[in-house]
Structure 1
Amino acid sequence: MAAQHKRSRALVVVGAGAIARQVRSLVAELAGEPYQIIGYVDSAAAAHPHGCVPLLGGDEVLAGTDSSYVIAIGNPTARSRIDDSATRWHRHPATLVHPSSTLDAGVSLGAGCIVLPGVRIQADACLGRHVLANANVVVGHDCVVHEHAVLSPLAMLAGGVVVERGALIGAGAVVLPERVIGFGSTIGAGAVVTADVPPLTRVAGVPARNIDRA
Protein backbone atom coordinates (compact mmCIF):
# COMPACT_ATOMS: atom_id res chain seq x y z
CA MET A 1 0.00 0.00 0.00
CA ALA A 2 1.31 3.50 -0.80
CA ALA A 3 2.71 5.50 2.08
CA GLN A 4 0.31 7.93 3.72
CA HIS A 5 1.54 11.53 3.82
CA LYS A 6 0.50 13.66 6.76
CA ARG A 7 -1.33 16.76 5.61
CA SER A 8 0.41 20.04 6.46
CA ARG A 9 -1.41 22.27 8.91
CA ALA A 10 -2.12 25.85 7.90
CA LEU A 11 -0.08 28.39 9.87
CA VAL A 12 -0.55 32.15 10.19
CA VAL A 13 2.48 34.16 11.30
CA VAL A 14 1.72 37.25 13.38
CA GLY A 15 4.31 39.86 12.43
CA ALA A 16 5.97 40.62 9.12
CA GLY A 17 9.47 41.68 10.11
CA ALA A 18 12.83 39.99 10.69
CA ILE A 19 11.55 37.40 13.17
CA ALA A 20 8.83 36.43 10.70
CA ARG A 21 11.53 35.75 8.12
CA GLN A 22 13.31 33.54 10.65
CA VAL A 23 10.09 31.66 11.28
CA ARG A 24 9.65 31.14 7.56
CA SER A 25 13.12 29.55 7.38
CA LEU A 26 12.42 27.43 10.46
CA VAL A 27 9.19 26.06 9.02
CA ALA A 28 10.92 25.23 5.73
CA GLU A 29 13.46 23.08 7.57
CA LEU A 30 11.02 21.03 9.65
CA ALA A 31 11.00 17.36 8.70
CA GLY A 32 7.77 16.12 7.21
CA GLU A 33 6.56 19.65 6.41
CA PRO A 34 4.08 19.74 9.32
CA TYR A 35 3.07 23.36 8.66
CA GLN A 36 2.39 25.52 5.64
CA ILE A 37 2.47 29.28 6.10
CA ILE A 38 -0.65 30.65 4.43
CA GLY A 39 -0.03 34.28 5.27
CA TYR A 40 1.18 36.94 7.65
CA VAL A 41 -0.83 39.38 9.74
CA ASP A 42 0.60 42.66 10.98
CA SER A 43 -1.38 45.75 11.90
CA ALA A 44 1.73 47.92 11.50
CA ALA A 45 3.02 46.59 8.17
CA ALA A 46 2.80 49.09 5.32
CA ALA A 47 4.15 46.64 2.73
CA HIS A 48 4.58 42.89 2.55
CA PRO A 49 8.18 41.62 2.45
CA HIS A 50 7.59 37.91 1.97
CA GLY A 51 7.15 37.35 -1.72
CA CYS A 52 4.33 35.08 -2.78
CA VAL A 53 2.92 34.48 0.73
CA PRO A 54 0.26 37.14 1.29
CA LEU A 55 -0.11 39.78 3.96
CA LEU A 56 -3.62 38.98 5.15
CA GLY A 57 -4.26 42.16 7.08
CA GLY A 58 -4.11 43.24 10.71
CA ASP A 59 -4.10 41.11 13.84
CA GLU A 60 -7.88 40.93 13.83
CA VAL A 61 -7.66 38.52 10.87
CA LEU A 62 -6.93 35.79 13.43
CA ALA A 63 -10.51 36.04 14.65
CA GLY A 64 -11.78 34.64 11.36
CA THR A 65 -9.35 31.80 10.69
CA ASP A 66 -9.14 28.23 11.94
CA SER A 67 -5.40 28.09 11.29
CA SER A 68 -2.71 27.67 13.93
CA TYR A 69 -0.60 30.75 14.59
CA VAL A 70 2.72 31.90 16.05
CA ILE A 71 3.74 35.35 17.27
CA ALA A 72 6.86 36.49 15.40
CA ILE A 73 7.30 39.78 17.24
CA GLY A 74 10.13 40.59 19.64
CA ASN A 75 8.21 42.98 21.89
CA PRO A 76 6.92 41.14 25.00
CA THR A 77 4.04 43.57 25.51
CA ALA A 78 2.83 42.99 21.96
CA ARG A 79 3.22 39.23 22.44
CA SER A 80 1.00 39.37 25.52
CA ARG A 81 -1.64 41.51 23.81
CA ILE A 82 -1.84 39.23 20.76
CA ASP A 83 -1.98 36.12 22.94
CA ASP A 84 -4.89 37.60 24.90
CA SER A 85 -6.78 38.40 21.69
CA ALA A 86 -6.06 35.03 20.07
CA THR A 87 -7.20 33.21 23.21
CA ARG A 88 -10.42 35.20 23.25
CA TRP A 89 -10.95 34.17 19.61
CA HIS A 90 -10.23 30.49 20.48
CA ARG A 91 -7.21 30.28 18.18
CA HIS A 92 -4.58 27.60 18.82
CA PRO A 93 -0.84 28.43 18.81
CA ALA A 94 1.77 26.22 17.19
CA THR A 95 5.06 25.39 18.93
CA LEU A 96 8.10 25.52 16.62
CA VAL A 97 11.58 24.12 17.34
CA HIS A 98 14.39 24.39 14.79
CA PRO A 99 15.98 20.99 14.08
CA SER A 100 19.46 22.29 14.97
CA SER A 101 18.38 23.11 18.52
CA THR A 102 18.70 20.61 21.37
CA LEU A 103 16.32 19.97 24.25
CA ASP A 104 17.56 17.81 27.11
CA ALA A 105 15.49 15.38 29.17
CA GLY A 106 12.65 16.89 31.12
CA VAL A 107 12.39 20.11 29.13
CA SER A 108 8.89 21.56 28.87
CA LEU A 109 7.73 24.01 26.19
CA GLY A 110 4.48 25.94 26.45
CA ALA A 111 2.09 26.43 23.56
CA GLY A 112 3.31 28.99 21.03
CA CYS A 113 7.02 28.81 21.89
CA ILE A 114 9.45 29.54 19.07
CA VAL A 115 12.93 28.02 19.38
CA LEU A 116 15.22 29.31 16.64
CA PRO A 117 18.50 27.75 15.34
CA GLY A 118 21.29 26.66 17.66
CA VAL A 119 19.40 26.96 20.94
CA ARG A 120 20.42 24.67 23.80
CA ILE A 121 17.85 24.03 26.54
CA GLN A 122 19.23 21.95 29.37
CA ALA A 123 17.63 19.37 31.66
CA ASP A 124 14.29 20.13 33.34
CA ALA A 125 14.07 23.71 32.11
CA CYS A 126 10.56 25.03 31.53
CA LEU A 127 9.52 27.65 28.96
CA GLY A 128 6.03 29.08 29.29
CA ARG A 129 3.48 30.05 26.71
CA HIS A 130 4.70 32.10 23.73
CA VAL A 131 8.34 32.36 24.83
CA LEU A 132 10.72 33.34 22.02
CA ALA A 133 14.21 31.80 22.21
CA ASN A 134 16.26 33.45 19.49
CA ALA A 135 19.33 32.02 17.77
CA ASN A 136 22.08 30.40 19.89
CA VAL A 137 20.42 31.02 23.24
CA VAL A 138 21.43 28.79 26.16
CA VAL A 139 18.85 28.02 28.85
CA GLY A 140 20.49 26.25 31.78
CA HIS A 141 19.12 23.33 33.76
CA ASP A 142 16.05 23.95 35.94
CA CYS A 143 15.41 27.43 34.54
CA VAL A 144 11.84 28.70 34.43
CA VAL A 145 11.01 31.23 31.70
CA HIS A 146 7.48 32.54 32.02
CA GLU A 147 5.02 33.47 29.29
CA HIS A 148 5.75 36.09 26.63
CA ALA A 149 9.40 36.47 27.62
CA VAL A 150 11.96 37.10 24.87
CA LEU A 151 15.49 35.68 24.92
CA SER A 152 17.58 37.56 22.35
CA PRO A 153 20.39 35.97 20.31
CA LEU A 154 23.29 34.51 22.32
CA ALA A 155 21.63 35.21 25.68
CA MET A 156 22.70 32.75 28.36
CA LEU A 157 20.74 31.75 31.46
CA ALA A 158 22.76 29.75 33.97
CA GLY A 159 21.13 27.01 36.03
CA GLY A 160 18.03 27.74 38.08
CA VAL A 161 17.31 31.21 36.69
CA VAL A 162 13.72 32.44 36.77
CA VAL A 163 12.61 34.87 34.06
CA GLU A 164 9.21 36.25 34.90
CA ARG A 165 6.38 37.11 32.53
CA GLY A 166 7.15 39.51 29.70
CA ALA A 167 10.81 40.10 30.50
CA LEU A 168 13.34 40.68 27.73
CA ILE A 169 16.91 39.38 27.90
CA GLY A 170 19.14 41.31 25.48
CA ALA A 171 21.58 39.89 22.96
CA GLY A 172 24.62 38.28 24.55
CA ALA A 173 23.45 38.94 28.11
CA VAL A 174 24.42 36.47 30.83
CA VAL A 175 22.31 35.77 33.92
CA LEU A 176 24.17 34.02 36.73
CA PRO A 177 22.70 31.00 38.56
CA GLU A 178 19.55 31.25 40.66
CA ARG A 179 18.85 34.89 39.78
CA VAL A 180 15.27 36.14 39.31
CA ILE A 181 14.43 38.55 36.48
CA GLY A 182 11.23 40.37 37.45
CA PHE A 183 8.20 40.62 35.18
CA GLY A 184 8.41 43.18 32.40
CA SER A 185 12.10 43.88 33.02
CA THR A 186 14.70 44.45 30.32
CA ILE A 187 18.29 43.20 30.45
CA GLY A 188 20.55 45.19 28.14
CA ALA A 189 22.70 43.59 25.47
CA GLY A 190 25.93 42.15 26.85
CA ALA A 191 24.95 42.67 30.48
CA VAL A 192 26.06 40.29 33.23
CA VAL A 193 23.32 39.91 35.84
CA THR A 194 24.74 39.05 39.24
CA ALA A 195 21.72 39.95 41.43
CA ASP A 196 17.95 39.66 41.21
CA VAL A 197 16.28 42.27 38.99
CA PRO A 198 13.04 43.84 40.32
CA PRO A 199 9.92 43.94 38.13
CA LEU A 200 9.66 46.63 35.43
CA THR A 201 13.34 47.53 35.68
CA ARG A 202 15.96 48.14 33.01
CA VAL A 203 19.51 47.06 33.74
CA ALA A 204 22.72 47.11 31.68
CA GLY A 205 26.45 46.77 32.06
CA VAL A 206 28.96 44.48 33.78
CA PRO A 207 27.85 43.89 36.42
CA ALA A 208 24.33 44.91 35.46
CA ARG A 209 22.95 48.03 37.17
CA ASN A 210 19.64 49.86 37.07
CA ILE A 211 19.79 52.41 34.24
CA ASP A 212 16.47 54.12 35.12
CA ARG A 213 17.87 55.83 38.20
CA ALA A 214 19.01 59.42 37.84
Structure 2
Amino acid sequence: MKKLFLLGSGGHSRSVAEVSTDRYSAGQVKILSLEEFALLPEDSCLESVEFLVALGDVKKRNAYYKLLLQRSWRVTNLVSSKAFLADDVTLGQGSVIMPGAVIRTAAQIYPNTIINTSVIVEHDCVIGESSNLSPGTVVCGSCNIGNQVFVGAGAVLIDGISVCDGAVIGAGAVVIENICLPGLYVGNPARRVK
Protein backbone atom coordinates (compact mmCIF):
# COMPACT_ATOMS: atom_id res chain seq x y z
CA MET A 1 0.00 0.00 0.00
CA LYS A 2 1.46 3.36 -1.07
CA LYS A 3 1.67 6.22 1.39
CA LEU A 4 1.60 9.94 0.69
CA PHE A 5 3.84 12.29 2.68
CA LEU A 6 2.83 15.95 2.42
CA LEU A 7 5.64 18.39 3.26
CA GLY A 8 4.42 21.33 5.28
CA SER A 9 2.13 21.61 8.25
CA GLY A 10 0.16 24.78 7.52
CA GLY A 11 -3.25 25.48 6.06
CA HIS A 12 -2.25 24.62 2.50
CA SER A 13 -1.05 21.15 3.52
CA ARG A 14 -4.37 20.47 5.25
CA SER A 15 -6.23 21.59 2.10
CA VAL A 16 -4.05 19.30 -0.01
CA ALA A 17 -4.75 16.45 2.42
CA GLU A 18 -8.47 16.95 1.75
CA VAL A 19 -7.86 16.58 -2.01
CA SER A 20 -5.75 13.46 -1.40
CA THR A 21 -8.83 11.55 -0.23
CA ASP A 22 -9.76 11.11 -3.93
CA ARG A 23 -6.80 8.75 -4.24
CA TYR A 24 -5.63 7.73 -0.76
CA SER A 25 -7.35 6.57 2.41
CA ALA A 26 -6.87 8.63 5.57
CA GLY A 27 -4.35 6.13 6.96
CA GLN A 28 -2.16 6.47 3.86
CA VAL A 29 -1.62 10.24 4.16
CA LYS A 30 0.82 11.85 6.59
CA ILE A 31 1.43 15.57 6.91
CA LEU A 32 5.11 16.10 7.76
CA SER A 33 6.33 19.31 9.29
CA LEU A 34 9.59 20.55 7.81
CA GLU A 35 11.27 19.53 11.07
CA GLU A 36 9.95 15.96 10.71
CA PHE A 37 11.07 15.88 7.08
CA ALA A 38 14.58 16.96 8.12
CA LEU A 39 14.77 13.86 10.35
CA LEU A 40 14.25 11.44 7.44
CA PRO A 41 17.60 9.83 6.59
CA GLU A 42 18.72 10.91 3.12
CA ASP A 43 19.47 7.34 2.10
CA SER A 44 16.06 6.03 3.23
CA CYS A 45 14.51 3.44 0.99
CA LEU A 46 11.03 4.85 0.62
CA GLU A 47 9.73 2.82 -2.32
CA SER A 48 6.18 2.73 -0.97
CA VAL A 49 6.05 6.48 -0.30
CA GLU A 50 5.06 9.28 -2.64
CA PHE A 51 5.87 12.89 -1.73
CA LEU A 52 4.18 16.16 -2.46
CA VAL A 53 5.38 19.60 -1.37
CA ALA A 54 2.39 21.27 0.30
CA LEU A 55 3.84 24.72 0.92
CA GLY A 56 2.35 27.88 -0.56
CA ASP A 57 5.59 29.91 -0.42
CA VAL A 58 7.04 29.53 -3.94
CA LYS A 59 10.71 29.76 -2.92
CA LYS A 60 10.42 27.21 -0.11
CA ARG A 61 8.24 25.04 -2.35
CA ASN A 62 10.90 25.07 -5.05
CA ALA A 63 13.74 24.31 -2.62
CA TYR A 64 11.99 21.27 -1.10
CA TYR A 65 10.92 20.01 -4.53
CA LYS A 66 14.55 20.14 -5.72
CA LEU A 67 15.64 18.32 -2.55
CA LEU A 68 13.14 15.51 -3.20
CA LEU A 69 14.45 15.15 -6.74
CA GLN A 70 18.04 15.18 -5.52
CA ARG A 71 17.24 12.30 -3.19
CA SER A 72 15.44 10.45 -6.02
CA TRP A 73 12.29 10.19 -3.93
CA ARG A 74 9.04 9.74 -5.82
CA VAL A 75 7.07 12.95 -6.31
CA THR A 76 3.41 12.69 -7.32
CA ASN A 77 0.59 14.96 -8.52
CA LEU A 78 -2.79 15.47 -6.95
CA VAL A 79 -5.79 16.47 -9.05
CA SER A 80 -9.14 17.01 -7.35
CA SER A 81 -12.01 14.98 -8.79
CA LYS A 82 -13.89 18.29 -8.69
CA ALA A 83 -11.47 20.01 -11.11
CA PHE A 84 -11.71 20.04 -14.90
CA LEU A 85 -8.65 19.44 -17.08
CA ALA A 86 -8.92 19.26 -20.87
CA ASP A 87 -7.63 16.01 -22.34
CA ASP A 88 -4.54 17.65 -23.84
CA VAL A 89 -3.31 19.52 -20.73
CA THR A 90 0.31 18.80 -19.83
CA LEU A 91 0.77 18.44 -16.07
CA GLY A 92 4.25 18.36 -14.52
CA GLN A 93 5.04 16.18 -11.53
CA GLY A 94 4.45 17.50 -8.06
CA SER A 95 1.59 19.78 -9.08
CA VAL A 96 -1.65 20.20 -7.16
CA ILE A 97 -4.97 21.01 -8.84
CA MET A 98 -7.60 22.02 -6.28
CA PRO A 99 -11.43 21.72 -6.44
CA GLY A 100 -13.22 23.94 -8.92
CA ALA A 101 -10.12 24.61 -11.01
CA VAL A 102 -10.62 24.68 -14.78
CA ILE A 103 -7.65 24.14 -17.09
CA ARG A 104 -8.49 24.43 -20.77
CA THR A 105 -7.07 22.96 -23.96
CA ALA A 106 -3.32 22.92 -24.69
CA ALA A 107 -2.37 24.46 -21.34
CA GLN A 108 0.98 23.43 -19.89
CA ILE A 109 1.43 23.26 -16.13
CA TYR A 110 5.08 22.85 -15.23
CA PRO A 111 6.23 20.76 -12.22
CA ASN A 112 5.55 21.61 -8.59
CA THR A 113 2.82 24.15 -9.31
CA ILE A 114 -0.31 24.99 -7.32
CA ILE A 115 -3.52 25.63 -9.24
CA ASN A 116 -5.71 26.58 -6.31
CA THR A 117 -9.47 26.52 -5.70
CA SER A 118 -11.61 27.86 -8.57
CA VAL A 119 -8.66 29.03 -10.67
CA ILE A 120 -9.28 29.31 -14.42
CA VAL A 121 -6.38 28.71 -16.80
CA GLU A 122 -7.55 29.21 -20.36
CA HIS A 123 -6.28 27.71 -23.63
CA ASP A 124 -2.60 27.66 -24.63
CA CYS A 125 -1.28 29.02 -21.33
CA VAL A 126 2.05 28.05 -19.81
CA ILE A 127 2.37 28.11 -16.00
CA GLY A 128 6.01 27.89 -14.86
CA GLU A 129 7.62 25.61 -12.33
CA SER A 130 6.90 26.11 -8.62
CA SER A 131 4.34 28.85 -9.24
CA ASN A 132 1.24 29.38 -7.10
CA LEU A 133 -2.06 30.61 -8.54
CA SER A 134 -4.22 31.55 -5.53
CA PRO A 135 -7.99 30.94 -5.30
CA GLY A 136 -10.13 32.63 -7.92
CA THR A 137 -7.27 33.65 -10.24
CA VAL A 138 -8.23 33.98 -13.92
CA VAL A 139 -5.51 33.49 -16.52
CA CYS A 140 -6.91 34.24 -19.98
CA GLY A 141 -5.72 32.53 -23.15
CA SER A 142 -2.12 32.31 -24.36
CA CYS A 143 -0.52 33.69 -21.20
CA ASN A 144 3.00 32.67 -20.19
CA ILE A 145 3.70 32.76 -16.45
CA GLY A 146 7.33 32.22 -15.42
CA ASN A 147 8.84 30.10 -12.66
CA GLN A 148 8.25 30.78 -8.96
CA VAL A 149 5.52 33.33 -9.64
CA PHE A 150 2.94 33.99 -6.92
CA VAL A 151 -0.47 35.24 -8.09
CA GLY A 152 -2.79 36.52 -5.34
CA ALA A 153 -6.45 35.61 -4.91
CA GLY A 154 -8.81 36.93 -7.54
CA ALA A 155 -6.13 38.37 -9.83
CA VAL A 156 -6.89 38.54 -13.57
CA LEU A 157 -4.37 38.29 -16.41
CA ILE A 158 -5.80 39.28 -19.81
CA ASP A 159 -5.02 37.35 -23.01
CA GLY A 160 -1.43 36.99 -24.12
CA ILE A 161 0.30 38.33 -20.99
CA SER A 162 3.83 37.20 -20.08
CA VAL A 163 5.06 37.31 -16.49
CA CYS A 164 8.78 36.98 -15.67
CA ASP A 165 10.22 34.53 -13.14
CA GLY A 166 9.85 35.52 -9.48
CA ALA A 167 7.11 38.12 -9.86
CA VAL A 168 4.41 38.58 -7.21
CA ILE A 169 0.96 39.70 -8.34
CA GLY A 170 -1.25 41.00 -5.53
CA ALA A 171 -4.78 39.90 -4.76
CA GLY A 172 -7.36 41.39 -7.12
CA ALA A 173 -4.76 42.85 -9.49
CA VAL A 174 -5.66 43.16 -13.16
CA VAL A 175 -2.63 42.56 -15.38
CA ILE A 176 -3.01 44.21 -18.80
CA GLU A 177 0.69 44.56 -19.72
CA ASN A 178 3.59 42.12 -19.67
CA ILE A 179 5.54 41.93 -16.40
CA CYS A 180 9.23 41.93 -17.28
CA LEU A 181 10.87 42.69 -13.91
CA PRO A 182 10.51 40.75 -10.65
CA GLY A 183 8.70 42.67 -7.95
CA LEU A 184 5.28 43.18 -6.39
CA TYR A 185 2.48 44.25 -8.75
CA VAL A 186 -0.87 45.47 -7.42
CA GLY A 187 -3.95 47.36 -8.54
CA ASN A 188 -6.17 47.82 -11.59
CA PRO A 189 -4.29 48.08 -13.81
CA ALA A 190 -1.44 46.28 -12.06
CA ARG A 191 1.62 48.46 -11.34
CA ARG A 192 4.98 47.60 -9.77
CA VAL A 193 5.18 48.95 -6.20
CA LYS A 194 8.47 47.34 -5.10
Q: TM-score, normalised by structure 1?
A: 0.84
Do the aligned partners of 1:154 and 1:173 also contact (CA within 8 Å) in 2?
yes
Cα distance, 1:38 vs structure 2: 4.2
Residue 40 of structure 1 is aligned with which of 31, 40, 46?
Answer: 31
Counterpart amino acid of residue 5 in structure 2: V
Cα distance, 1:78 vs structure 2: 0.5
Query: Equivalents in 2 of 1:169, 1:62: separation in Å?
Result: 34
The residue correspondences of 1:65-214 to structure 2 (distance < 5 A) are 66=46, 67-212=49-194
Counterpart amino acid of residue 61 in structure 1: L
Q: Secondary structure at the match of 1:58?
A: helix
Against the structure 1 CA distance between its residues 91 and 204, is the aligned structure 2 distance closer, same or farther, given a 3 Å change threshold?
same
Aligned residue number for residue 26 of structure 1: 19
Query: Equivalents in 2 of 1:192, 1:94: separation in Å?
Result: 32
Query: Equivalents in 1 of 2:9, 2:173: separation in Å?
Result: 29
Query: Equivalents in 2 of 1:124, 1:62: separation in Å?
Result: 40
Of 114-123 and 80-89, more deviation after overlay is shown by 80-89
Do the aligned partners of 2:75 and 2:93 also contact (CA within 8 Å) in 1?
yes
1:58 aligned to 2:40? no
Cα distance, 1:62 vs structure 2: 7.2
Q: Secondary structure at the match of 1:61?
A: coil
Query: Equivalents in 2 of 1:93, 1:151: separation in Å?
Result: 20
Do the aligned partners of 2:17 and 2:29 also contact (CA within 8 Å) in 1?
no
Q: Secondary structure at the match of 2:40?
A: helix
Query: Equivalents in 2 of 1:199, 1:60: separation in Å?
Result: 38
Report how many residues are paired.
Answer: 191
Aligned residue number for residue 52 of structure 1: none
Against the structure 1 CA distance between its residues 124 and 14, is the aligned structure 2 distance closer, same or farther, given a 3 Å change threshold?
same
Q: Secondary structure at the match of 2:185?
A: strand
Q: Which runs of 5+ in 1 are unaligned?
A: 1-7, 45-56
Counterpart amino acid of residue 58 in structure 1: F
RMSD: 1.7
Among all aligned residue pairs of Structure 1 and Structure 2, give the percentage whose two residues are the same amino acid. Answer: 25
Q: Secondary structure at the match of 1:159?
A: coil
Deviation beyond 4 Å, 4+ runs, structure 1: none
1:11 aligned to 2:4? yes
Do the aligned partners of 1:9 and 1:36 also contact (CA within 8 Å) in 2?
no
Q: Which runs of 5+ in 2 are unaligned?
A: none
Query: Equivalents in 2 of 1:111, 1:59: separation in Å?
Result: 22
Against the structure 1 CA distance between its residues 21 and 204, is the aligned structure 2 distance closer, same or farther, given a 3 Å change threshold?
same
Larger Rg: 1
Q: TM-score, normalised by structure 2?
A: 0.93
